[in-house]
Amino acid sequence: MDTIRIGLMGLGTVGSGVVRILENHRDDLLRQTGSHIEIRKILVQSTEKLRDVNVPQHLLTTDPEDIAGAPDIDVVVEVMGGVPQTKLLLEKALRSGKHVVTANKDLMALHGAELLSVAAEQGCDIFYEASVAGGIPIIRALTESFSSDRIMRMLGIVNGTTNFILTKMSLEGASYEEVLKEAQALGYAEADPTSDVEGLDAARKMAILATLGFRMNVALSDVEAKGITGVTKEDILYGQRLGYELKLLGLAERDGDSVSVSVQPAMVRKSHPLASVNGVFNAVYVYGEAVGETMFYGQGAGAMPTATSVVADLVSVVKNMRLNVNGQRLSRPYKEKRLQTDDRIRGKFFLLLHVEDRAGVLAQITQVFAKHDVSLESVLQHPNAANPSAEIIIITHDADQASMKNVIAECENLDVVNQVKSVYRVIG
């Protein structure tokens, strides 16, 4: 086909970036694909709104049917967000023979398997590189570069807002509340930051990565998510003294035929590559059985990085159209989903306890750990003039999560323990 006709759904930050790239890179895209890529319609909320990208007025529409059901559209590029209505529109587009490129992480985390099935039935492509980690080509790496390997573990800093907050807390010793206000003022955090700071955004992305990496349909409800609202500057300070940086990590791990996927703040050893990922940057660390350790690092959000991933997917669709192989490269989960139980999820743990400052306290606490077969790597006590309780930091050897939950519950019931202040996984 000499001309590929595009229907663009959304003309916000990312949509405007897509328009710019298609215009500014027109000759390069023609040479790469052998086709002219032309935008035929753009779905917007208002055709009268002033925009920072010049688009002919006749291209704008407020009617989704002008794209989803239009016979003169070959590829639908969706960057407007939303789930229920957007799902229906993309299903209609696929059923009418249109290929789809989307940046919608919420949609793919919740309904990705359904949309992939529809695409396969219709012989259409659906690509979604931009749904995870913006401009980092992690999805293409998982579906293509690692296709001959067996992925054992993925660790991801996949939310720039929380990484910005934790970085500022680490470098400046500021409180969570102070840095959150700064992040909102800079536009890194929304007025309602719940999705970011409670780990929900990262959980959606980890569900997508785990589905691709482990070849099984990992649902958002399978991801145990804990955010950063309980992180204090004291936690970060104590971690630094022991050689760790505190990061909000997505963890996806395989043990035999079963997997576990979670999002949680974790103490990352400073020698680990993820410890030095700061600010709004994202990174995904992948451990393959054959290739070993790899890490993908870059801008996880923003107009141009995300738009670059969108257009890269579009180029793949066009190349497939010219080769007549659309729908043949879809990466669909084919393994039975098996989730690990707590007694099989293992790791090291960091605990900060506020305890009574008197003799015999430590002996009572260590007896609880011994009772549940959790061995200790180190036990430290740090004076804190601001806290009348004694503060004890414990780092365990590898222990299973079920035993750790029992330890924590029993410690909380000890008379000598005023509070189990913090519990974090230890990485590296």
Cα(56)–Cα(153) distance, integer angstroms? 47
Cα(298)–Cα(268) distance, integer angstroms? 19
Specify whether 205 is catalytic. Answer: yes
Buried b (16+ CB within 10 A) or exposed e, 9-45: bbbeebbbbbbbbbeebeeebeeebebebebbbbbbe
Q: Is 100 left (phi over 0), alpha (psi -120 to 50) or beta?
A: beta
Our CA dihedral for 95, 98, 101, 103, rounded to 10 degrees, sits at -50
Query: Could you tell me where the DSSP H helices lie in 77-188?
Result: 84-95, 105-122, 138-140, 160-172, 176-185
Query: What is the radius of gyration, based on Cα positions, of the chain?
Result: 24
Buried b (16+ CB within 10 A) or exposed e, 412-422: eebebbbebbb
Catalytic residue (one of 98, 105, 168, 205): 205
Query: Could you tell me where the DSSP H helices lie in 194-331?
Result: 194-197, 200-214, 233-241, 303-323
Cα(25)–Cα(21) distance, integer angstroms? 6
Residues contacting residue 411 through CB under 8 Å, at least 6 positions apart: 353, 365, 368, 417, 420
Q: Is 204 left (phi over 0), alpha (psi -120 to 50) or beta?
A: alpha
Active site residues per annotation: 205
